[in-house]
Structure formats: C-alpha cells, structure tokens
Amino acid sequence: MSSLNVIKWAELSHAYGFAGNIEPLLKSLYSFPSEGNSKSEPWHTLWSSLCHQGDVYSASFAATPVIVDALATAPLKATQSYFLLPVCIELARVNHHADIPEDLEKPYFAALAKFPQLVANASLKGPDLIIAALSAVAVSKGQWTTAQMLVEIESKDIPEVLTWYHAR
C-alpha cells in the first residue's frame, strides 16, 4: 500500500474529473471485496472511472500498480477484476496510443510484469477467472491481440469459436 501514500490523486484525472475519490476505493481492494455483479463496489466505480468506454486517464496508470499490489498480497483470493481492469487499461492504452505520465511509466510496466507469477500463485477457479488470468499474462508479454481476443470472447462462446476455426 506504500505507493498509495505517494500518489497525489487529486492531481490526476479519471473519466469524471479529478481522481481524489480513487484512493479509498483502491485501499478497499486489500480486503478482497466480492464481485457479485457489475454494480459491486468498489469495482463498479473503479471500472467506470479508470477505463470508461475504452478510454484511460492518468489515474488509470497510477491505479494499476496498486491493483496488482493488492492482488500480490493474497493471489489465492483473486477475482476477475484484479486481472481484467489492468488488462483493459493496457489494451486501451495500446489501442488509443495513450501516453503514460513519465513519473507513472516505470511502476505501471513493473506492475504488468508481475502478472505471470501472480497467475501461477492464484487459485483459478472457473473459466472466466482463467480467461482473465491468461489475458493478464498476454498483456504482460506484449501480446495485445491475444489479450484482446481473450477479453472479448465470452467463455460460453469458446466452443463455437473452436467449431468455426476447425471448419474453415
């Protein structure tokens, strides 16, 4: 949680303006809140603020290392958004050629590089969590199209995609 203390959140922006409200939401991630549905907090606000309709902001890049750090404290408690929110932030950065503020660049990429080990340490129960984890590994290795495919194809559609692929 040490990186939370040095970030000047009120000077960063997100989809709705200045990011002063993000720090307490990120702190709550260390208690591993449930993700019962798309409106579950703090994830709902984090998603809508940090990766809004495919756009990313300075606060998105500052939040990613904190999300990954929270995950690293107990990877066995991982839920999808611990992997998917940073993945979608990275995919948005790449797809929209978004610039990372210079002071956030090093911790941002260092956080993404931690994903393979965190995936290895996580308890991946269920296809959706496995897909989220695999997309995180793909992003950490710069395999953005693979990550994009994993994020966009729902697990229930994989058999249909495989049938299509083998039929061509």
- The pLDDT of residue 128: 85
**pTM, rounded to two decimals:** 0.91
Range(s) of the domain holding residue 99: 2-167
- The pLDDT of residue 123: 83
Count of the separate structural domains present in the chain:
1
- Residue 147 and residue 87: Cα distance in Å, rounded? 8
Q: How many CB atoms lie within 10 A of CB 33?
A: 15
Mean pLDDT value of segment 47-54: 93
pLDDT (tens digit per residue) in 93-104: 999 999 999 999
Tokens 């949680």 belong to which residue? 1
- Residue 166 and residue 87: Cα distance in Å, rounded? 28
- Residue 8 and residue 11: Cα distance in Å, rounded? 6
pLDDT (tens digit per residue) in 15-25: 999 999 999 99
Q: Which residues pair with 17 in a beta bridge?
A: 14
Q: Contact, 79 vs 38, CB < 8 A? A: no
- Residue 86 and residue 57: Cα distance in Å, rounded? 12
